[in-house]
Amino acid sequence: MAYDYEGNRVMLVDSQCGSVWYAWNNQRLQSMVMYTENNKSAQVGFGYDSVGRLASLTRTANGNFATTINTSYTLDLLDRVTSTGEI
C-alpha cells in the first residue's frame, strides 16, 4: 500500500499482481483504476457538484472510450427523488 501526503491511499497491490490506483483532490476521490494480472483494466471517474456531493460517475473498460458509461443523469434523478421524498 502507498499513501499520499494527505494520508489518502494511492495504490494497492495484491499477491496475483493485480493493482488499484487512486487519484485524490482535496480529500475527494477523483478516479480509480483497477488492473488485473492479465493487464485488463477498468477506470472509474468521480465528479462532484459545487457543494461536494457526488454528481457523476464514469466507467471505462480497458482504456476503450467506446465502453464509457456516464451516470450523471441517473445521479441527478436520484437526487431529485430523494430531495422531494417521492418515488
Domain count, the chain: 1
pLDDT in tens, 41-74: 989 998 888 888 888 888 888 888 777 777 766 6
Report the alpha-carbon distance of residue 25 to residue 9 in Å, rounded: 12
- Structural domain including 68 reads 2-84
pLDDT at residue 74, as a whole number: 63
| Tens-place pLDDT, residues 6-16 | 778 888 888 88
37: cell is 494480472
Residue (of 72, 83, 10) closest to 46 by Cα position: 72
pLDDT tens column, 15-42: 888 889 888 888 888 999 999 888 889 8
pLDDT for position 78: 64
